[in-house]
Amino acid sequence: MAAANKDRRPIVTLESTAGTGYRYVTKKNKVNTRERIVLKKYDPIIRRHVEFKETR
C-alpha cells in the first residue's frame, strides 16, 4: 500500500533556465499533473527569480 502512494507523488528535480545549474528538489502529484512543471523560483547564484523547469 505504501509503494502505491510513493508512485503518485514522485520526487522531481527543477533546474534553473538561467544556466547557472542551480536545482530544487520537490514532489509532484503525477495523477493531476501529467506534463512537466515550470515554476518561478529564486536562483541565489544570480540573485533573482527565474523559471525552473522539471528535468528527468
Break the chain into its structural domains and give their ranges.
2-55
Quickly tell me which residue has 529564486 as its cell.
42
What pTM was computed for the model? 0.82
Give the sheet arrangement for strand 23-27, strand by strand: 23-27, 11-16, 48-55, 38-43
Tell me the C-alpha distance between 41 and 49, whole Å: 5
DSSP string, 15-32: EETTSS--EEEEE--TTT
Render pLDDT for 1-56 as a digit per residue (tens, 0 to 9): 566 666 789 999 999 999 999 999 999 999 999 999 999 999 999 999 999 999 98
Which pLDDT score, from 0 to 100, does residue 8 have? 84
Cα end-to-end span (Å), the chain? 25
Task: Kindly report the CATH number that applies to the domain delimited by 2-55.
Answer: 2.20.28.120
